[in-house]
Structure 1
């Protein structure tokens, strides 16, 4: 009876950990996607400014010291990776529901 209980508890524990990791993956993907979107909007706003002094100040304050084009490129890549993480988490969720 102890072995049967141990086997059942082990499978339940594994499914619980997998579901927690799926939820963490989804939350992380949403967090990175939203923050990346905000960073992208700020970068495009700073790039559209005519006043170079104000653009330099805002870039240093909100985006760091890199060039605007590099910030937009890296943020786009990060957002694509967040979308991929979200897709993987959704696949994990659907496998968990079927199993």
Structure 2
């Protein structure tokens, strides 16, 4: 159960931070692209957008795995209670 909870926390962090970085990169891309290396840490805003959306997708995948793990654990617990 520890890894399920840890997976949920990591998933939320990846989604929130990746989304924030994507929004920041889009904002910089529409204003002044020379600020990109300073605030995003990457050579271009396009690269920052790609990496941040990848983080969001990885966060969604980790979140789905954590939800599957939680569902399987709940079913296993229900079966254990039924057998008693």
TM-score for both structures, normalised by structure 2: 0.83
Name 2:23's counterpart in structure 1: 41
Aligned residues: 76
The whole-number CA distance in structure 1 between the counterparts of 2:38 and 2:11 is: 25
Moved more, 24-33 or 72-81: 72-81
Query: What secondary structure, in the 3-state scheme, does the structure 1 residue paired with 2:42 have?
Result: coil
TM-score for both structures, normalised by structure 1: 0.72
1:68 equivalenced with 2:45 (yes/no): yes
1:95 shift after superposition:
0.3
The whole-number CA distance in structure 1 between the counterparts of 2:17 and 2:39 is: 12
* RMSD between superposed Cα atoms in Å: 1.1
The whole-number CA distance in structure 2 between the counterparts of 1:70 and 1:40 is: 10
Runs of 4+ in structure 1 over 2 Å off: none
Larger Rg: 1
What runs of 5+ residues in structure 1 fail to find an aligned partner? 1-18
